[in-house]
Each structure stands twice: as C-alpha cells, then as structure tokens.
Chains A and B, each alone.
Chain A
Amino acid sequence: MSLLLAFYNAYSTLILFSGVAALLALSIYVTLMAGQLSLGNAALATIGGYTAAILTRDHHAPLWVALLSGALLATTVAIIIGIPSLRLRGVYLAIATLAFGEVVRVAALNLRITGGALGLVGIPRLATFWHVYGTLAAVAFFFYRLERSRVGRALAAIREDETAAQAMGVRVTYYKVLAFAIAGFISGLAGGLSVHFTYIINPSQASFGEAVNILTFAVFGGTTTFLGPIVGGIALTVLPEALRFLREYRLLLNGAILVLVTIYLPQGILAPHLWRWRRARV
C-alpha cells in the first residue's frame, strides 16, 4: 500500500492529467457517436475551466458548485453554437468548431475577467484523485448505459445514415443538439477539474493543438465503444512520459505512432478483432 502511495505521490499530476484526458476524449466521442466531428471541445473545456477557477479563486465557492457552474455554462455555449453548426457536415463542421475555438481563445486573451494572456494563476488545489476518477467513473457508467439506450441507438442510426434515421422517425436535430450538449457538459467538467490541480489556466488551452490532441485520444483508442477514448486518453498522456528516455526524438515517435495506428489499426487500439474476448459489435 505504501508503495502504491509513493508511486502516486511521484506521478500524481500525470495520473490526474490522464483522467482529464480520458474525460475530454469521451466528450468528443459523444458527438462522434452521432457521426459529427466537433473540434470545439478544447474551447468548451477552457470555458468550464475559467468559470470554475473564477468561482473558487475569487468567490471561494465549493468545488462542486464551481465544477457544475462551469459545466453548465459550457453546455449552454455548446447548444448555442451547436444549433447553427448542425447545418454543416463533415470537414465543414470540424472547421467551424475549430473557428469557434479560436474565437474563444482570442476572447480569453482580451477579456479582463479571464486575466488576458497570462490567464488566471493561484487557483486553489482542490481536485484530488477521487474527484477526477470519480467523475470519470460516473461518466463512463453514463456511456455504458447510453450505448444501450434509446438515445444511443438514435445516435448510431444518425451516424450510419441520417436520411434513413429521419425517415424512421428519429428526431435528428434534437439528438444532434443533445450530443453537443452532453459534449459541452463533459468537457466543461474536465476543464474545471484540471485547473484545480494545475493551479493555472491560460488562453492557449483553447488552441488548435489542444483540440487536435483530444481528437487524437479518441481515434487512437478507437471509437467503437466508450472504452476506446478512455484507453486512448490515458495511453497518450502516459506515452510521452514513458518515452522520455528518447529525449528529442520523443515527438517523432508520437507522430509515427499516430500515422501507424491510423493506417494499420483504423478502429484504434481497442479494435474488436484485436481483442477476441470482446465480441465485435456493430
């Protein structure tokens, strides 16, 4: 037990980052379930992070109030950008959401309440292992249920063929906006959690690179089941640390892994055919 504790103390930040990465990967997975590629999640997480940070740092709100407020604000923004964006498909939706992220970044850079380019510093350390992994467990359970529910099947129907789904009576717009809202909530939570163990937040967290990272988590892990994004988020957060001995060649290998996985493992590392014990599902 003490060994475990020592391990945790040495790597606590990395372990917490992995949990947040898994949450962010799940937030992009929910829109992918409906076949919508949204790259605005980093920006939504930033909105959640700023909100939560301002509440705990300046108004001494309890952590759960701050997290919930951040998540709800991110959900509201997700719905507001989701409704017009749903006219767009595929690459166009991806780019519109990227543009949204850029607008959030520039807004955070210029607003007084967000502290400009420096961002907010001195955020109290409130998030612990249990907060992060408790949230992750709850969200994972939510997805476990979601995939087997009416909503999950509706999302899958929209992903496979939007027109057919509509003809079958699935309310396409409603479910797409719902997926956006859930994505907003989860990324808002993730953003709020991460600022309470990194102590700082700044506009760069809404950047293009972060948005791409989140997508990479989900694709690397695989988007066949909700376990994929969780594994992908954790693996890709730990990998750069595990590869530290490679020093300057580290990112090189990271990139190579990304290329190789997309080419040879199109369904991610959790592809059903790689893990026979898990029955392949459609």
Chain B
Amino acid sequence: MAVFLQQLVNGISLGSVYALFALGFTLVFGVLEIINLAHSAVLAVGALLAYTLFTRLGVGLIPALLGSFIGTGLLGIAIDYVAFRPLRIRQAARLASLISSIGVALILVNLGQILWGSEPLSYPPGTVPLRFFTAGGVTVSLLQIVTLATTVALLIGLRLLLTRTKVGMAIRAVAENPTTASLLGMPFDRVVMFTFFLSSALGGVAGVLIGMLLQGSVSPFMGNAYGLKGLAAIILGGMGDITGAVLGGFIIGIGEIMIVQYLNSSYRDGVAFGLLFLVLIIRPTGLLGQRRGREA
C-alpha cells in the first residue's frame, strides 16, 4: 500500500506537468480549432531559456519561471503571426495550419540547436534544494511540492482569468463562435494574440518544470517526447475542454507511473496510446467533451 501511495504521489507530480503542457494545446484548439504541433518545441525553448537565466544571470527559481513564461509567451505571439495568421486570413483548411506548425517546430528546434547546442544541458544543482519530507511511509521531495504548487497556482489563475475577467470571457466567446463574437464587438485579433501568449507561456513553464523533474536535463529535442503525450491528454479529456485537459494530463501521468511500477516499463508508451486509440474509437469526444455539431 505504501508503494502504491508513493507512486500515486509521483504520478500526481508528473501528471501535473503534463496537464500544464496539455492546457496550452487545448487553449489554442478550443479557440481556433487548430493543432499547434510547434507547442512541443515551445516547451523546449522554455526549458532552455530558464537554463540561460540560471547559469548566465544566476537568478533564482521564480525569476527564471517568470522569464520563461514571458519569453515563450511572446514567442507564441510570433508563431501565430508567422505561421497561422496568414492561413487564417485566407481561410485555409485546418490541415494547412497543422503542417505549417510542423515547419515552425523544425525552425525552433534548429534555432535551439544553434543557440544552445545539441548536448543535453543540466540546471545548476540546488536550484530547488534537495529536501525530502516523509509521512506515513510516503516520501515527497521539495521539488515535487514546488512543481505541484506552481501547476496548481497556474491552473487556478487560468480558471479565474477565463471566468472572471473581461479578456477571459472574450476568449470563451470566441471559442464558442468566432463570427458571432466578432459581430458582438469582441476584438478577435487581440483575443487570438492573447490566447497564443497564454498557451505558449504555459508550455514554457511546463518545460522548466519537466527539466527539473528530469534531474535538470534539457535539450532542444526534449519536446519530441511530450508532444504526443500532450495530444493524448487533450483527447482523453476532450478536445478544447480545459478541465478535460487537466484530467487527461493527470490520468496519463499517474497511468505511466503505475504501468512502470506494476507492469513493464517498456510498455509504458504503448499502453498510453493503446488507451488513446480505444477512447477515440469508443468515445471520440473524450471523457468530458460534448458532441459538437461541427467537424474538427
């Protein structure tokens, strides 16, 4: 039982990072119905930005997280401007956006390689002090607590932003129906810009947290492993559904840890994606998604 509880704790901290990453995916999908495959490259850029802030400027954890948040957020706006806006203006097929986002991902990973090199880099030790707390046979590291706290704070912040503020309501209105929202005076372009900022900023922070959970090993290629997991999370939960993405992230994080513990570590990805395939076949709208009239 103690093992199970311990692994549950580990799964929750991993799942919280997946949730954060999946949120960025789902925000853009919810508002524009496009899948931004450059999101996983943004995750890597966020992690690498934090590395530079740690090592060059010697800042602490909070300024580094903040720097990544703002840096990747601005990058998100730039991505939209270069790769998605021209297609949106032309009202191109959604497939086109998917492909142009692949191009952006290539560019970002290559730029990352040029700026930071291809070797994995390590965060300086002691960024988060190595400290453990034990209660009832379950050990929690300070790092896990910091990760979970950051994620929960961001989730609550996002929730409040979307439900309580004017810009949040505008985002939801545009997600519901872009044409009607524009007719009612919502500044469509600014809403999209803000959505991309938020989405990429969350991805960047997820990158820093993943970098720390992986013993500080970050590289331009680190996003590749998470792109598909993020997709899996938003499909499990229901595309474009905020709560669904969080739920999906936690299910995948906890599921992975449990499969490694009780089954075979090399089947971990296979089980996750087998499950994903089944969900798509049995309930294509995901766990929380509602059946929509339109086609994705």
User: A interface vs B, CB < 8 Å?
Assistant: 37, 84-85, 87-92, 94-96, 98-100, 102-103, 105-107, 109-110, 208-209, 212, 215-216, 219, 248-252, 254-259, 262-263, 266
Contact = CB atoms under 8 A, between A and B. Distances in A.
A208 B98 CA distance: 14
21 contacts: A91-B239, A95-B280, A96-B281, A98-B231, A99-B273, A99-B276, A102-B270, A103-B270, A105-B270, A107-B270, A110-B270, A249-B110, A251-B109, A252-B110, A252-B114, A255-B102, A255-B108, A258-B102, A259-B82, A259-B107, A266-B92
Contact of A106 (B90, B100, B270): B270
Contact of B277 (A90, A96, A109): A96
The 10 closest A-B pairs by CB, nearest first: A255-B106, A258-B103, A106-B270, A255-B107, A259-B103, A102-B273, A251-B110, A262-B100, A91-B296, A96-B280
Contact of A263 (B87, B239, B273, B274): B87
A70 B228 CA distance: 27
B44 to A, nearest CB: 14
B94 A262 contact: no
Nearest to B234: A95
Given A92-B235, A92-B296, 8 more contacts: A92-B284, A95-B231, A100-B273, A208-B224, A212-B37, A251-B110, A256-B107, A258-B103
A36 to B, nearest CB: 11
B110 A248 contact: yes
Contact of B296 (A89, A109, A212): A89
B295 interface: yes
A31 to B, nearest CB: 12
Contact of A102 (B95, B228, B280, B281): B228
Contacts of A95: 231, 235, 276, 280
Given A89-B295, A99-B277, A216-B99, A259 B228 contact: no
A98 B277 CA distance: 9
A91 B35 CA distance: 8
B231 A212 contact: no
A104 B96 CA distance: 27
A91 B114 contact: no
B124 to A, nearest CB: 26
Interface in B43-102: 82-83, 86-87, 90, 92-96, 98-100, 102
B267 A110 contact: yes
B134 interface: no
A109 B99 CA distance: 28
Nearest to A218: B99
Nearest to A162: B295
